[in-house]
Amino acid sequence: MITHRMVEAFRAVMQSGSVTRAAGMLNISQPSVSRLLADLETGLGLRLFERRGTRLNATTDGVELYDEVERSFLGLARVLDTAEQIRTRHSGVLTVATIPALGNTLLPEVLKGLQVLPDAPLVRLHIVPSQQALGMLAQRRCDIAFASIAPAPEIGRQVAAFPMYGRVILPASHRLAGIPHKLTPDILSDEPMVALAAHSLMRIETEQVFAQRGTPFRVAIETMQAFSAAQLVQAGFGWAIVDPMTARAHEAAGGVSRAFEPAIDFSFGAYAWRMDDKVGRMERFVVAVAASVASLPAN
């Protein structure tokens, strides 16, 4: 008979790479782990490990079985996570999923301001890409999602919109840093650029803007996130086009930002899926975010 404990022992050995570590993970003795593995192999009629002295190496059968075991455990983890989300609906917890551009810049101060209120909820913050934030909303794993793409109507409704346009960030020592007006593709064409990853929406729109002007741009380095782009700009790799939230953080770190023309859309929205006793907390949170966004420089 195969028991859950046997499967747990197998999974622990596969994850840790040794019986000793597996025993520590399960808080049982090494002989107990070895016995559970032996019983599992006998019960399944499979050889899951090759034993070389004190070492265990997974066989092909063992690796194949582990894939299925891990899927089962992930399914259980989702069940437990869902149960936790249901419990938090009835408690003072507000779960937020947000794009990095907001989560890495404005939200810390927004949350700090809210936490001084007497009935401030515990906020669980997930900083993730837009698609993942909306996925969490669709799976009821967050109360509110901030995303740069809109979800399907059945996933959530928009509760706030935040229109904004890209800004050019430069190191303070850059030769263009002294230009007080908007920067254009013609001005930037000969300067090395810190670009967001190829095929990303912002990169495609940037390429289109330069192509429409018949102006080339020179990529010095690519990165996945605006926060990383700002760090690379500070290090002297060149200029970048980022959202106004990242641009303000860049200025606070001693850098320079300027409006970019023609405008590149960096807008995002706030989306929610339910209206209940949390609606007051959610509205207060969104209003606080809106106030912080309103303080950003306008193009």
Q: Can you give the pLDDT of all 299 residues of the chain as single tens digits?
A: 888 888 888 888 888 878 888 888 888 988 898 899 889 888 888 888 887 766 778 888 888 888 888 877 766 666 566 556 655 554 567 889 999 999 999 999 999 888 876 667 788 899 999 999 999 898 888 889 999 988 888 788 899 999 999 999 999 999 999 999 999 999 999 899 999 887 777 888 888 999 999 998 889 999 988 999 999 999 999 999 999 999 999 999 999 999 999 999 999 999 997 645 456 778 889 999 999 999 887 76
pLDDT, residue 279, reads: 62
pLDDT, residue 86, reads: 55
pLDDT, residue 82, reads: 58
DSSP string, the chain: ---HHHHHHHHHHHHHSSHHHHHHHHTS-HHHHHHHHHHHHHHHT---EEEETTEEEE-HHHHHHHHHHHHHHHHHHHHHHHHHHHHHHTTTEEEEEE-HHHHTTTHHHHHHHHHTSTTPPEEEEEE--HHHHHHHHHTT--SEEEESSPPPTTT-EEEEEE--B-EEEE-TTSTTTT--S-B-HHHHTTSEEEEEPTTSHHHHHHHHHHHHTT---EEEEEESSHHHHHHHHHTTS-BEEE-HHHHHHHHHTT-EEEEBSS--B--EEEEE---STTHHHHHHHHHHHHHHHHTSPP-
pLDDT, residue 139, reads: 83
pLDDT, one tens digit per residue, over 158-199 is 999 999 999 999 999 999 999 999 999 999 998 999 998 877
Q: Report the predicted TM-score, pTM, of the whole model to 2 decimal places.
A: 0.69
pLDDT, residue 63, reads: 86
